[in-house]
Amino acid sequence: MPHRRLHVPPSALLRQAIARHERAIAAREARRLGPAERDAIRAVDLYARAEGPGHADVANALVDLGQIRELRDDLAGAAEALVRARAILTRLARRRKLDDPEIARLSVRAGRFLGSVQRAQADHAGADRTLARVLREATRRLGARDLDTAAVLNDLGVLRKYQGRLDDAAAFYRRARAIVERSDQPRGHAAATLYHNLGGLEHSRGRHARGEPYARRSALLRTALLGPNHAMVAADVAALAALVEGQGRLVEAARLYERALRVFRRQLGAGSSEVAVNLCALGGVRQAQGRLADGEEMIRAALAIHERLYGRNHPETGMTVNNLAILVATRGRDAEARRLCRRALAIFRRTLGARHPHTRQCAANLARLGG
């Protein structure tokens, strides 16, 4: 979302703040995330000095700082910035200063990003509370048919999918789709994101052929908007790769994962979470192709990244450990495979609960290993 100045600059200090803010956004779009974060921090400070710490422009810069930190996989830092932004905007709402639609959209945007960060931190209950509040706010302030309201519904669908509640996810996606397809607003990104998520839902249901057209449509729409070398396009390509893999087209899947990895490494860095997820996925393809040593090397590299970013007890770490256990078992190292599978199962039980599909699948894997 491009930065929009919320007020006319009355001072040199405010002009400096705006310049820093715009520079931060340009650096973020170019995926120069270190400079982007430094400029965003400076913009927050300059806005606070020029207009006071409770001004909407401070919140605006904090939202962009939160997004930059999320892209850098600094989830705690992202949450801190977004909580600060939401606190400012909540105070403004209580003073009846949230009637400006641009400020209302900023508040919804801050809440959506916070919910996304909480989900990535495996705080599903926190994400649920945040997104429920934001949905009420978006419906009240922007209207039930606004694209930002659809975006919140979409986010709730993603959260339900992560929770293993696939029918509930589908219901949220249907509501979002009805808004997007009837909207008179520019809807390219909204439609691409929705089709990406619909493809992901079909993947989770094991209906890979049904999901593939959604993924292809998402990738085409986003490529037309952003070009082929953007990280969001790479995410669409990776989602398509998973659906192609599920249909047994391993050579095509590997080529798509490799394409996505090239973009993620260039745009986000070799140690990013997106690189880890796609290394793990490509490792699974190599396993299916019988290239077990290559697959194990990739999954172990992914595990090292996930442990560094999230620690040893996060669901993403658990999923990578589970995948490594399956590969190790294929190589005949049963005792190591059982040890890894027990570790993954403990993570899933602790973070997702005994009834989550990941927990149940991991328990089944362990039973097959004789554990």
pLDDT tens sequence across 9-20: 468 899 999 999
For the cut 90, the answer to whether the pLDDT of residue 289 exceeds it is yes
The mean pLDDT value for 286-313 works out to 97
Q: What confidence score (pLDDT) does residue 2 get?
A: 42
Per the model's pLDDT, the better-predicted residue between 166 and 188 turns out to be 166
Q: Which residues contact 15 (CB under 8 A, 6 or more apart)?
A: 9
pLDDT tens sequence across 226-281: 999 999 999 999 999 999 999 999 999 999 999 999 999 999 999 999 999 999 99
pLDDT band at 364 (very low <50, low <70, confident <90, very high): very high
Q: What confidence score (pLDDT) does residue 113 get?
A: 97
What is the rounded distance in angstroms from the CA atom of residue 196 to the CA atom of residue 239? 7
CA-angle at 317, arms to 315 and 320, nearest 5°: 110
Q: What confidence score (pLDDT) does residue 184 get?
A: 78
Per the model's pLDDT, the better-predicted residue between 97 and 306 turns out to be 306
For the cut 60, the answer to whether the pLDDT of residue 3 exceeds it is no
pLDDT band at 99 (very low <50, low <70, confident <90, very high): low
Rg (CA), the chain: 21
For 180, list phi and psi in degrees, rounded to 5: -60, -45
Contacts of range 137-140, beta carbons closer than 8 Å, 24 or more positions apart: 137/104, 137/107, 137/108, 137/111, 138/108
Per the model's pLDDT, the better-predicted residue between 67 and 187 turns out to be 67
pLDDT tens sequence across 134-166: 999 999 999 999 999 999 999 999 999 999 999
Going from N- to C-terminal start, the domains of the chain cover 1-117, 143-181
What is the rounded distance in angstroms from the CA atom of residue 217 to the CA atom of residue 237? 11
Q: What confidence score (pLDDT) does residue 9 get?
A: 47
Q: What confidence score (pLDDT) does residue 8 get?
A: 47
The mean pLDDT value for 11-40 works out to 94
For the cut 80, the answer to whether the pLDDT of residue 98 exceeds it is no
Question: Which architecture does CATH list for 1-117?
Answer: Alpha Horseshoe (1.25)
CB 202 within 8 A of CB 243: yes
Global confidence as pTM: 0.88
pLDDT tens sequence across 316-327: 999 999 999 999
What is the rounded distance in angstroms from the CA atom of residue 189 to the CA atom of residue 209? 23
The mean pLDDT value for 59-77 works out to 96
For the cut 90, the answer to whether the pLDDT of residue 126 exceeds it is yes
For the cut 80, the answer to whether the pLDDT of residue 5 exceeds it is no
* Distance from chain centroid for Cα 210: 23
Tell me the CA distances in angstroms from 15 to 8, 21, 41, 61, 92, one per residue in order.
9, 10, 15, 14, 23
Write the single-letter amino acid at 65. L
For the cut 90, the answer to whether the pLDDT of residue 97 exceeds it is no
- Region of residue 370 (phi > 0: left; psi between -120 and 50: alpha; otherwise: beta): left
